[in-house]
Structure 1
Amino acid sequence: MKKLGIDKDRSRHRAGIARWMNEQARKFRVYGNVSNSQGSRGHSKDRRIKIYAPPIISIYDFNAERSDAFKRTMRFLTDIKKDFKNKNCFVDFSETVTVTAAAIIVVYAAIEQAGIGRKGKAEIIWSKSERVNRQLRLSNLSRLIRGHKISYALDSVSHMPIVSSVGGEMSDNVVDFIQNRIYTDMSAKVEHKYGDAVSETINNVGSHAYPQSNDEEKKWWLICHTMGKKLYLAIYDTGVGIPKTVVERRWFMEAFKFTYPQAFQEMMAENPGKETHLLTRLIPARISDHELIGMSMKGDVSGTKKEKRGQGSKSILALVEETSGGLLWVFSNNGVYRFDQVIKKPEIYSLPMSFPGTLVQWNIELP
């Protein structure tokens, strides 16, 4: 009976969408664009906007030979930021067949930020894939698109939706959820490791991601769930990005000298007598974003512990390194860092299009 009721609700919802779509009198479909319909006398009617999601919403497919999914996902984010603020829009997932968890959190953040202060009606057009629709519901993305207020009661849910917060106000709730709903036999030692990893990631957002913002503007989004025997957690912010902030660390110049000695010597020869803090501004022209992210993950290589924070997310790396099948991804601006516990060697990549902000994702295998 419950399933019949759900199907009936979906039928009513789809019928409502169909009626609204007919009212729009759409003549043609343009991906990621706005269509204006004209009145009989040539006067422009209200704009009716449809934002089309790509077939594959993913940030992992960024290599040259298969970068189409990444590029289309980035364009989808651009369309959301540009068009979602307008009156009466659809977000159309009808052609979407795959959504990765890392990508859905970025889409969620784009919708939330674009929807601040918006007026008018927004609606979702569901996918033909029930698996995709389930992801849209469980993440609360469908409710967010429709303008519903999102609240959190993590102690009463079995599947964590995307959490949106500022500062450290939700970090304890996340660790409690992992312990009580996912990893029920977590020891005090393991709980401390998880707590350190989550807290460090959130603290890095507040300390570095938004250098010119007030505390209440330092927003982050987090998703956490299991896939088989894997625990998956990702946190995302729309700040300036790691490549922009790592050069501000007190240990950075020493790390640059150690990691790229030839580039350091060339820069010193070209700029004799220039102060160190001025030289750091020239480094991004010497090395790329993915190399800067790699340096941020290494942190202070001198061993002097010049700065406690920004030390390469050591708590997260330790958690990934010490667990079977551990995997860490860091996306920021134009670069990607990946660490696989099996390979035990970091890999860095350049992105074909700029990534908006920073996403840190880690996967570990549960016992």
Structure 2
Amino acid sequence: MSNKIKDDRRKKTALGHKRFRQTLSRKTLTKDRYRGLVKIDGEVYHKIEAPEVLSIYSNQNGEFEATLEFKERLVKSRSLKGKTLVSFKFTKSFDASALLLIYSAVEQATPQETENQAKVRLADEPKVNMLLKRSNLKRLIEGRELIRVRADDQLLPVISSDSAEYTEEIVDFIKRKIYNNDLTANDESILSEAVMEAVENVLVHAYPELQTSPEPLSSSDTIKGRQWWMVCDVVKDQLYLAIMDSGVGIPETVKHKNWFEKAFREEYPELYQELYSELGRGERLLEKLNYKPNVTDANFINISMTGDLSSIEQQGRGQGSKSIKSLVSENEMGKLWVFSGKGLYLFRSNDDKELYNLPKSIKGTLLQWNIRIK
């Protein structure tokens, strides 16, 4: 066999091995419509494509699941080496709750020092771009310095804190920029109570393992790990406020409230009786609930919202939302959404409530409500 033929065979074999190795390496990459590899100015980026609709209000066309899947991809990308392109090019709609869910997840997943470099590709839809920039999400993803809350802010970014320090700024912003300083003392008091109640709900209830005192918290109380995020947005004559935490969630915390069994019995008497009749000697209701699939996270949220309201007057504080419900009830378009675990509680202004089981779990609790701008 001539040397030329031997050299040609070696080249073909080496090339074949190289291609085989490349094929194996590609198999380790997730290939789907939201992720791939793309070259920008000669550099390779992991590409994550945001869905057309970023929303957790509905899953009729798969919006809820697509939003959570996008959030999960984004979180995983924070630990990747190399460069990431997060593209919102085809996103046409992005609601406040989805924004808060994604923002909080990205902030928690971003290490102080990371080898990942990210770039955001803006959307074709101007409203989506405004939200990405105003909220700080674009800067957060790209690892740039965030715009901090200032007294003269025209727009309020997502607020992230582990204390009650920003509650006054939030109320002042709403009063000044949205109501043009035209709030009565009573309306301002109600709004302030609702915002403070939402924040204190996180600080007192969301992280029970970190709570050291049952006493009311002040703006100086800071405990590392009790993180919360808040955003406000205006759509026509409606002011939307949303707050989120990454705690254990309502379905877990409500079970340990001293009023839980009484509230459960009053809200679900037949189910309570069924469970009670199945209790063995020395067995507690809580132990039985942990193995009862027909008692859902939505049921636990509902018990929390009703049980707390009856306990507020006795204990001076609840896990529910008395002030927020009052604001929602006064607005004919008012809605209160409470997401936690795999449960969703929806309260409407006509005192109607709906419970839903979610296809994917939300860590912690996300609460959103809207009030009419007078």
Which residue does 1:200 correspond to in 2?
A: 197
Q: Trace 1:1-367 onto structure 2 (pairs within 5 A).
A: 30-33=32-35, 48-62=45-59, 66-87=60-81, 88-117=83-112, 118-183=114-179, 184-213=181-210, 215-274=223-282, 278-284=284-290, 285=292, 286-300=294-308, 305=313, 307-341=315-349, 343-367=350-374
Deviation, 1:85, is: 2.2
Aligned pair in 2 of structure 1 residues 208, 258: CA closer, same or farther (>3 Å)?
same
Structure 2: stretches of 5+ with no match in the other structure:
1-28, 212-222
Q: Once the 2 structures are TM-superposed, how far is the Cα of residue 311 of structure 1 from its aligned partner?
A: 4.5
SS in 1 for 2:359: strand
Alpha-carbon distance in structure 1 between the residues aligned to 2:62 and 2:239: 28
Q: CA deviation at 1:96?
A: 1.4
- Give SS of 2:148's match: coil
Residue 156 of structure 1 aligns to a residue whose secondary structure is coil
CA deviation after TM superposition for structure 1 residue 304, in Å = 8.7
Call closer, same or farther: CA 1:267–1:115 in 2, change over 3 Å.
Answer: same
Q: Shift in Å at residue 151 of structure 1?
A: 3.9
Q: Which amino acid aligns with 1:207?
A: V
Deviations 1:89-108 (A, max 9, x none): 12111221211121111111
CA RMSD of aligned residues (A): 2.6
Is the 2:201–2:319 Cα contact (8 Å) retained in structure 1? no
Give the deviation of 1:279 after TM superposition: 1.9
Quick one: which amino acid aligns to residue 205 of structure 1?
V
Q: Which amino acid aligns with 1:203?
A: E
Percent identical: 37
Q: 1:128 to 1:47 in 2, by over 3 A?
A: closer
Q: Give 1:168 deviation, angstroms.
A: 0.6
Distance 2:61 2:119 in 1: 29
TM-score by length of structure 1 reads 0.82
Amino acid at match of 1:126: L
Distance 1:269 1:94 in 2: 57
How much does 1:338 deviate?
A: 1.1
Which runs of 5 or more structure 1 residues have no equivalent in the other structure?
A: 1-26, 38-45
Alignment length (residue pairs): 328
Q: Which amino acid aligns with 1:193?
A: I
Residues 225-257 of structure 1 show CA distances to partners (whole Å, capped at 9, x for unaligned) of 321111111111122211111111111000011
In structure 1, what is the Cα distance between the partners aligned to 2:361 and 2:272? 26
CA contact (8 A) 2:251 2:297 kept: yes
1:332 is paired with a residue whose SS is strand
CA drift at 1:47: 8.3
Distance in 2 of aligned mates of 1:282 and 1:31: 43
The DSSP-based 3-state class of the residue aligned with 1:232 is strand
Deviations 1:284-306 (A, max 9, x none): 52411111111111124766955
Letter in 2 for 1:80: L
Q: Bigger shift: 109-118 or 247-256?
A: 109-118
Residues 298 and 355 of structure 2 are in contact (CA less than 8 Å); yes or no, is this contact kept in structure 1? yes
**CA 1:95/1:300 → structure 2, altered by over 3 Å: closer, same or farther?**
closer
Letter in 2 for 1:366: I
Larger radius of gyration between Structure 1 and Structure 2:
2
CA distance in 2 between counterparts of 1:300 and 1:140 reads: 34
Give, as a single letter, the amino acid of the residue that structure 2 aligns with 1:190. Answer: D
